[in-house]
Chains A and B, each alone.
Chain A
Amino acid sequence: MSSRSELIQQRLAALSPVELTVTDESHKHVGHAGAQDGRGHFHVHIVAAAFAGKPPLGRHRMVYAALGDLMETDIHALGIEALTPEETKSQELK
Protein backbone atom coordinates (compact mmCIF):
# COMPACT_ATOMS: atom_id res chain seq x y z
CA MET A 1 0.00 0.00 0.00
CA SER A 2 1.33 3.44 -0.82
CA SER A 3 1.92 5.85 2.02
CA ARG A 4 -0.71 8.13 0.51
CA SER A 5 -3.33 5.43 0.93
CA GLU A 6 -2.22 5.10 4.56
CA LEU A 7 -2.58 8.85 5.06
CA ILE A 8 -6.08 8.72 3.62
CA GLN A 9 -6.95 5.82 5.92
CA GLN A 10 -5.65 7.70 8.93
CA ARG A 11 -7.74 10.77 8.16
CA LEU A 12 -10.88 8.75 7.49
CA ALA A 13 -10.52 7.02 10.85
CA ALA A 14 -12.18 10.21 12.17
CA LEU A 15 -15.48 8.90 10.77
CA SER A 16 -15.14 5.69 12.87
CA PRO A 17 -15.56 3.35 9.90
CA VAL A 18 -16.44 -0.30 10.42
CA GLU A 19 -15.06 -1.04 6.95
CA LEU A 20 -12.51 1.01 5.06
CA THR A 21 -10.69 0.17 1.85
CA VAL A 22 -8.52 2.71 0.07
CA THR A 23 -7.34 1.77 -3.40
CA ASP A 24 -4.63 3.70 -5.18
CA GLU A 25 -5.70 3.83 -8.83
CA SER A 26 -3.06 6.33 -9.88
CA HIS A 27 -1.41 3.80 -12.19
CA LYS A 28 -4.55 3.83 -14.34
CA HIS A 29 -4.10 7.51 -15.02
CA VAL A 30 -0.41 7.85 -15.82
CA GLY A 31 -0.01 10.25 -18.71
CA HIS A 32 -3.49 11.74 -18.27
CA ALA A 33 -3.43 15.52 -17.88
CA GLY A 34 -4.68 15.39 -14.30
CA ALA A 35 -1.84 13.08 -13.24
CA GLN A 36 0.85 15.57 -14.16
CA ASP A 37 0.75 17.55 -10.94
CA GLY A 38 1.82 14.43 -9.07
CA ARG A 39 -1.34 13.97 -7.04
CA GLY A 40 -3.05 10.62 -7.13
CA HIS A 41 -6.33 8.96 -8.06
CA PHE A 42 -7.92 6.94 -5.29
CA HIS A 43 -11.05 4.98 -4.56
CA VAL A 44 -12.51 4.78 -1.08
CA HIS A 45 -15.00 2.20 0.14
CA ILE A 46 -16.14 3.27 3.57
CA VAL A 47 -18.86 1.92 5.83
CA ALA A 48 -19.74 4.02 8.87
CA ALA A 49 -22.77 4.50 11.08
CA ALA A 50 -22.16 8.25 10.83
CA PHE A 51 -23.62 8.22 7.28
CA ALA A 52 -27.08 7.15 8.47
CA GLY A 53 -29.80 9.58 7.44
CA LYS A 54 -27.40 11.54 5.23
CA PRO A 55 -27.93 11.88 1.46
CA PRO A 56 -25.02 11.02 -0.86
CA LEU A 57 -23.99 14.67 -1.12
CA GLY A 58 -23.71 14.97 2.66
CA ARG A 59 -21.74 11.72 2.92
CA HIS A 60 -19.25 12.84 0.30
CA ARG A 61 -18.90 16.17 2.07
CA MET A 62 -18.07 14.32 5.31
CA VAL A 63 -15.39 12.32 3.51
CA TYR A 64 -13.92 15.44 1.91
CA ALA A 65 -13.99 17.27 5.23
CA ALA A 66 -12.17 14.42 6.98
CA LEU A 67 -9.51 14.41 4.25
CA GLY A 68 -9.04 18.17 4.60
CA ASP A 69 -5.90 19.47 2.93
CA LEU A 70 -5.06 16.08 1.41
CA MET A 71 -7.58 17.01 -1.28
CA GLU A 72 -5.23 19.84 -2.22
CA THR A 73 -1.87 18.21 -1.68
CA ASP A 74 -2.19 14.51 -2.48
CA ILE A 75 -5.51 13.69 -4.07
CA HIS A 76 -6.42 14.64 -7.59
CA ALA A 77 -9.47 12.46 -7.93
CA LEU A 78 -11.42 10.35 -5.51
CA GLY A 79 -14.09 7.77 -6.12
CA ILE A 80 -16.27 7.44 -3.04
CA GLU A 81 -18.57 4.64 -1.99
CA ALA A 82 -20.01 5.66 1.38
CA LEU A 83 -22.47 3.27 3.02
CA THR A 84 -24.01 2.63 6.40
CA PRO A 85 -23.62 -0.82 8.02
CA GLU A 86 -27.35 -1.46 7.36
CA GLU A 87 -26.95 -0.71 3.65
CA THR A 88 -24.14 -3.23 3.26
CA LYS A 89 -26.42 -5.85 4.79
CA SER A 90 -29.22 -5.12 2.35
CA GLN A 91 -26.73 -5.21 -0.53
CA GLU A 92 -25.63 -8.68 0.50
CA LEU A 93 -29.23 -9.87 0.38
CA LYS A 94 -29.68 -8.74 -3.22
Chain B
Amino acid sequence: MNEETKQKIEQQLRDNPVLLYMKGSPDFPMCGFSAQTVAALRAVEAEFAHVNILEEPDLREALKAYSNWPTYPQLYINGELVGGCDIAVEMYNSGELKKMVAAND
Protein backbone atom coordinates (compact mmCIF):
# COMPACT_ATOMS: atom_id res chain seq x y z
CA MET B 1 0.00 0.00 0.00
CA ASN B 2 1.45 3.38 -0.83
CA GLU B 3 2.14 5.84 1.94
CA GLU B 4 -0.22 8.47 0.54
CA THR B 5 -3.23 6.14 0.62
CA LYS B 6 -2.35 4.97 4.11
CA GLN B 7 -2.16 8.56 5.34
CA LYS B 8 -5.47 9.31 3.69
CA ILE B 9 -7.11 6.41 5.56
CA GLU B 10 -5.57 7.48 8.87
CA GLN B 11 -6.72 11.06 8.31
CA GLN B 12 -10.28 9.92 7.55
CA LEU B 13 -10.30 7.80 10.70
CA ARG B 14 -9.02 10.70 12.82
CA ASP B 15 -11.53 13.16 11.39
CA ASN B 16 -14.60 10.95 11.68
CA PRO B 17 -15.37 9.27 14.99
CA VAL B 18 -18.01 7.09 13.32
CA LEU B 19 -17.04 6.20 9.78
CA LEU B 20 -18.58 3.68 7.41
CA TYR B 21 -16.67 2.51 4.37
CA MET B 22 -19.45 1.26 2.14
CA LYS B 23 -20.62 0.58 -1.38
CA GLY B 24 -22.67 3.53 -2.54
CA SER B 25 -23.99 6.20 -0.19
CA PRO B 26 -26.35 5.99 2.81
CA ASP B 27 -29.26 7.15 0.65
CA PHE B 28 -28.26 5.03 -2.35
CA PRO B 29 -26.45 1.96 -1.04
CA MET B 30 -25.19 -0.31 -3.81
CA CYS B 31 -25.14 -3.49 -1.74
CA GLY B 32 -27.57 -5.09 0.68
CA PHE B 33 -24.95 -5.46 3.41
CA SER B 34 -24.05 -1.78 3.22
CA ALA B 35 -27.76 -0.92 3.31
CA GLN B 36 -28.31 -3.00 6.45
CA THR B 37 -25.37 -1.39 8.22
CA VAL B 38 -26.67 2.08 7.39
CA ALA B 39 -30.08 1.03 8.72
CA ALA B 40 -28.51 -0.11 12.01
CA LEU B 41 -26.62 3.19 12.38
CA ARG B 42 -29.71 5.23 11.59
CA ALA B 43 -31.78 3.18 14.03
CA VAL B 44 -29.47 4.29 16.88
CA GLU B 45 -29.47 7.85 15.53
CA ALA B 46 -25.73 7.75 14.97
CA GLU B 47 -24.05 10.64 13.29
CA PHE B 48 -21.72 9.01 10.84
CA ALA B 49 -19.57 9.83 7.87
CA HIS B 50 -19.21 7.54 4.91
CA VAL B 51 -16.76 6.81 2.14
CA ASN B 52 -18.07 5.24 -1.06
CA ILE B 53 -15.32 2.74 -1.85
CA LEU B 54 -16.75 2.12 -5.32
CA GLU B 55 -15.51 5.60 -6.20
CA GLU B 56 -12.08 5.01 -4.66
CA PRO B 57 -10.52 1.89 -6.17
CA ASP B 58 -7.07 2.47 -4.61
CA LEU B 59 -8.49 3.04 -1.19
CA ARG B 60 -10.77 0.04 -1.59
CA GLU B 61 -7.83 -2.34 -1.93
CA ALA B 62 -5.59 -0.51 0.54
CA LEU B 63 -8.13 -0.51 3.36
CA LYS B 64 -8.57 -4.28 3.13
CA ALA B 65 -4.85 -4.65 3.81
CA TYR B 66 -4.79 -1.89 6.42
CA SER B 67 -7.57 -3.46 8.47
CA ASN B 68 -6.86 -7.08 7.53
CA TRP B 69 -10.56 -7.38 6.74
CA PRO B 70 -11.52 -8.69 3.31
CA THR B 71 -15.03 -7.35 2.73
CA TYR B 72 -17.21 -4.24 2.78
CA PRO B 73 -18.86 -2.52 4.52
CA GLN B 74 -16.36 -1.76 7.29
CA LEU B 75 -17.54 0.23 10.28
CA TYR B 76 -15.03 2.19 12.37
CA ILE B 77 -15.70 3.87 15.69
CA ASN B 78 -12.95 6.05 17.12
CA GLY B 79 -10.50 4.75 14.57
CA GLU B 80 -11.06 1.10 15.46
CA LEU B 81 -12.63 -1.44 13.16
CA VAL B 82 -15.89 -2.59 14.73
CA GLY B 83 -16.74 -5.06 11.98
CA GLY B 84 -18.91 -5.59 8.94
CA CYS B 85 -22.64 -5.90 8.50
CA ASP B 86 -23.22 -9.01 10.63
CA ILE B 87 -21.35 -7.56 13.59
CA ALA B 88 -23.04 -4.15 13.29
CA VAL B 89 -26.47 -5.78 13.22
CA GLU B 90 -25.56 -8.12 16.09
CA MET B 91 -24.39 -5.12 18.13
CA TYR B 92 -27.53 -3.23 17.24
CA ASN B 93 -29.63 -6.13 18.51
CA SER B 94 -27.66 -6.37 21.75
CA GLY B 95 -27.85 -2.60 22.35
CA GLU B 96 -24.09 -2.31 22.23
CA LEU B 97 -24.05 -0.23 19.07
CA LYS B 98 -26.24 2.41 20.68
CA LYS B 99 -23.91 2.53 23.68
CA MET B 100 -20.80 2.87 21.55
CA VAL B 101 -22.29 5.61 19.47
CA ALA B 102 -23.69 7.45 22.50
CA ALA B 103 -20.34 7.30 24.30
CA ASN B 104 -19.06 9.12 21.33
CA ASP B 105 -21.30 12.20 21.49
Contact = CB atoms under 8 A, between A and B. Distances in A.
A60 B86 CA distance: 9
A64 B69 CA distance: 8
B82 A71 contact: no
Interface string A69-87: 0011000011111000000
A60 B84 contact: yes
Q: Is the interface of A mostly helix, strand, loop or mixed?
A: helix
Interface residues of B, number: 19
Given A79-B86, A80-B86, A61 B68 contact: yes
A72 B69 CA distance: 12
A23 to B, nearest CB: 14
Nearest to B68: A61
B43 interface: no
A93 interface: no
Contact of B87 (A29, A56, A78): A56
B95 interface: no
Given A57-B81, A64-B69, A33 B90 contact: no
A81 B31 contact: no
